[in-house]
Amino acid sequence: MLNTNWFTEIFEQSGSAFSLQIKGKLFEQQTAYQKIEIFDTTHFGKLMVIDGCVMLSSRDNFIYHEMMAHPALLSCTAAKEVLIIGGGDCGTLKEVLKHHTVEHVTQVDIDEGVTRAAEIYFPELCSANTDPRATLLFDDGIAWIKNKAPESVDVIIVDSTDPVGPAQGLFTQEFFSDCYKALNQGGIVIQQSGSPLLTPNEMVEMRQAMRAAGFVSLQSYQFPQCVYPSGWWSATAGGKNINLSEAANSISDKLSFDTQFYSVAGHHGAMVLPPYLEKLLNEN
């Protein structure tokens, strides 16, 4: 919904909405997959919207990108080979490449239009795109992971939209089984898992799919994200023959790179879920 001064995303299933005051529209493109729009806002910098849903803003995207990258990378012992499925704005890629242990990152996003728009309007997120360790591919990530060699990746980050449209297949047992096969022993997959308040069943279903695919150790992380429905978001990880709780306890308190939101103490705090959510996840 858009009037002269505001962009509004309505989340009908919860009877709620989120609005940002805008100065104007900077970009619009209908690709083969989705509609991409970019607005200039009064207080949140640039705003990227895909098919009417907020993807990121200049002001707060660092929270999401850091929480998608660092908990998994730091929990995995010396992660060298990383795969990002989705992530076309390249913010997660930038965070992954802060890790000196990483030797190579492959990013597979189905829509090149997202990356090209980000390069123009969010250049700060794309500053690592030319890193020699990075390979950017524009392809179907679901098909790509299915053909990935067994035990060839240390960390898989699924930086996708919600489970609708092209992203729907990224939330299935079949997809997570392909991830499990591609991961090395001690490897980790992590994926955004929606709002703990508005869509907790999304977290339940993702964990069920991960567990059915073979992941025994599961961990959900909570963090604020004010431009997403409810302002409260999550990511869920699965470990292949690695205990994610024990791995978090072994992370050094001193990071070798700068962050804006992530800290090791915050990592542990993000793992502590509210009682109602812990009960729901444990019962299912």
| 105-144 per-position pLDDT tens digit | 999 999 999 999 999 999 999 999 999 999 999 999 999 9
| 191-219 per-position pLDDT tens digit | 999 999 999 999 999 999 999 999 999 99
| 172-184 per-position pLDDT tens digit | 999 999 999 999 9
Is the pLDDT reported for residue 163 higher than 70?
no
Give residue limits of the domains in the chain: 6-57, 61-283
Asked: is 61-283 a CATH 1.10.357.10 domain? The reply is no
DSSP the chain: -B-SSEEEEEEGGGTEEEEEEEEEEEEEEE-SS-EEEEEEESSS-EEEEETTEEEEETTTHHHHHHHHHHHHHHHSTT--EEEEEE-TT-HHHHHHTT-TT--EEEEEES-HHHHHHHHHH-GGGSTTTT-TTEEEEES-HHHHHHTSPTT-EEEEEEE--SSSGGGGGGGSHHHHHHHHHHEEEEEEEEEE---TTT-HHHHHHHHHHHHHHT--EEEEEEEE-TTSGGGEEEEEEEESS--HHHHHHTS-SS-SS--SS--HHHHHHHT---HHHHHHHHH-
Provide the pLDDT for residue 2. 54
Provide the pLDDT for residue 284. 84
Provide the pLDDT for residue 166. 60
Domains 6-57 and 61-283 share a fold: no
Out of 2.40.50.140, 2.30.140.10, 1.10.3210.10, 3.10.450.40, the CATH code matching 6-57 is 2.30.140.10
For the ranges 136-140, 162-166, 242-246, 258-262, the lowest mean pLDDT is seen at: 162-166
Active site residues: 159
Is the pLDDT reported for residue 229 higher than 80?
yes
Provide the pLDDT for residue 259. 98
For residues 247-274, average pLDDT: 96
Provide the pLDDT for residue 160. 84
Question: Is 0.85 surpassed by the pTM of this model?
Answer: yes
